[in-house]
Amino acid sequence: MNAVTHSPDLAAIERDLGAGFVKARELAFVRGEGARLWDAEGHSYLDFASAHGATSLGHAHPAVLGALHEQAARLISCTPSFASDVRAAYLTELMPHLPGDAERLFLCNSGTESVEAALKIARLATGRTGIVACMRGFHGRTLGALQTTWERRYRDPFAGWGPEVRHVRYGPADDLREAVTEDTAALILEVVQGEGGVRLAPEAFLRAAELVCRERGAMLIVDEVQTGFGRTGRLFACEHAGIAPDLVCLAKGIAAGFPMGAVAIGPRVAELPPGSHGSTFGGSPLACAMARATLRTILDEGLVERAALLGNMFLDRLRGIVSARVREVRGLGLMVGVELRERAAPFLAALLERGVVALAAGPNVIRFLPPLVVSPADLDEVVDTLCEVLS
Ligand SMILES: Cc1ncc(COP(=O)(O)O)c(C=O)c1O
């Protein structure tokens, strides 16, 4: 057992001087390497949260560090008003791998910004205002993205700001046929809902989403902020169902933990009016250099196939746990949820006590998002630790 050492001094500083939107735990991480993190007292933890899926190559990956050092010394910032050699190189390298026959890429700095941009693009492309999103979906917290997020406690204090959004059930295709109309600018959904409890969309639902958007002239936005860049065992999760979204939102694992976001834009979107959207930091040379190193590493090291293989091993082993507390184990690739019949929080705390960092996904789901470089031995250790805390 790790015996979590609290760092009350550091936590107190953040409590007193930080904006206080998130209740930070009394534990400070100071270093990481591969799938491991170390706290201020030198104890090590298996990182099965990966900064909510962002540090997909683990910590201190040499390829990413090399790109960071080299580019930081050359040129950090260059706004989109000028071209950049690294940005052009990244766009060229990523484009053939994007789903949905994407033809262009808008670069920004986070997941919520990518959703915000996709919503604006959908409105410009269709001239319509209606948005359809899914129950239990999570798309971010800026004003537009926030209204597409399902969780009422995030949305309600800001009701009336941002677009009108209708939420439909995540699964029944008939609901989509009824909700998406000639007034709908976009339907936005996740292929696997992350924050909403690691829930997989039925393939028929995803196919119906594509079809109904085509029929009614609405844009299909697939939010791959959490599922993208190999997490689910395909480079992008929508490949599992073979659908071609009009807009794909990307972030988190795109640059191995460096803040970056993007929207892949498909052929149904015409030229956008100049100045209709933009970002000072979006697509900075530093972010692009790290994203390029990330993409190359994912492809060269076969991390997508590895996520599929190790994800299946992990799911099999988790499904072998005999415990009355477990309702269901589900997931895709290395995006895995263990739904309990009781609240997950005490078990997350017990895992942390034993040196495993995991996440909640709703009140009773333990979510595991290990880095794609995780080893089979790490997976076994986490299954054994989970067995222990559930017993
Ligand atoms: C599916 C999805 N979309 C959007 C977001 C928002 O991303 P960010 O926190 O980078 O703004 C998240 C964050 O968890 C997410 O999981």
Fold classification of 62-300 (topology level): Aspartate Aminotransferase; domain 2 (3.40.640)
pLDDT of res. 2:
55
Q: Which of ligand 1's atoms lies nearest the C-alpha of 54?
A: 10
Gap from CA of 138 to ligand 1 centroid (Å): 7
pLDDT tens track for 201-218: 999 999 999 999 999 999
pLDDT tens track for 42-65: 999 999 999 999 999 999 999 999
Q: In which element (H, E) is residue 87 found?
A: helix 85-94
Mean pLDDT over all residues of the chain?
Answer: 95
Query: Which structure tokens are listed for 118?
Result: 């996709």
Q: Which of ligand 1's atoms lies nearest the C-alpha of 137?
A: 1
**Are 115 and 139 in contact, with CB atoms under 8 Å apart?**
yes
pLDDT band at 24 (very low <50, low <70, confident <90, very high): low
DSSP code of 131?
Answer: E
Neighbouring-strand partners of residue 32: 37
Describe the strand order of the beta sheet including 335-340 as a list of residue ranges: 326-332, 335-340, 365-368, 359-360
Cα–Cα distance for residue pair 267/207, rounded to 1 Å: 18
The sign of the CA dihedral 295, 301, 302, 307 is negative
Gap from CA of 140 to ligand 1 centroid (Å): 5
pLDDT of res. 23:
62
Place of tokens 């085509």: 214
pLDDT of res. 14:
79
Question: Distance of CA 358 to CAs 179, 314, 345, Å?
Answer: 36, 14, 10
Cα–Cα distance for residue pair 257/286, rounded to 1 Å: 13
pLDDT of res. 258:
98
Q: Which of ligand 1's atoms lies nearest the C-alpha of 190?
A: 1
- In three-state secondary structure terms, 86 is helix
pLDDT tens track for 280-289: 999 999 999 9
pLDDT of res. 257:
97
pLDDT of res. 21:
66
Q: Is 117 exposed, middle or buried (0-12, 13-18, 19+ CB in 10 A)?
A: buried
Question: Distance of CA 287 to CAs 68, 75, 204, 266, Å?
Answer: 8, 11, 36, 23
Cα–Cα distance for residue pair 318/299, rounded to 1 Å: 28
pLDDT band at 9 (very low <50, low <70, confident <90, very high): confident
Q: In which element (H, E) is residue 112 found?
A: helix 111-126
**Residue ranges around ligand 1 (CB below 6 Å):** 52, 110-112, 115, 138-140, 190, 194-195, 223, 225-226, 251
- In three-state secondary structure terms, 274 is coil
- In three-state secondary structure terms, 36 is strand
Query: Which structure tokens are listed for 121?
Result: 């693009």
- In three-state secondary structure terms, 140 is coil
Question: Across residues 319-346, what is the average pLDDT?
Answer: 98
- In three-state secondary structure terms, 375 is coil
Neighbouring-strand partners of residue 331: 336
Domain boundaries, the chain: 62-300
Gap from CA of 73 to ligand 1 centroid (Å): 30
Gap from CA of 54 to ligand 1 centroid (Å): 10
Place of tokens 């933009």: 278
pLDDT tens track for 133-184: 999 999 999 999 999 999 999 999 999 998 999 999 999 999 999 999 999 9
pLDDT band at 17 (very low <50, low <70, confident <90, very high): confident
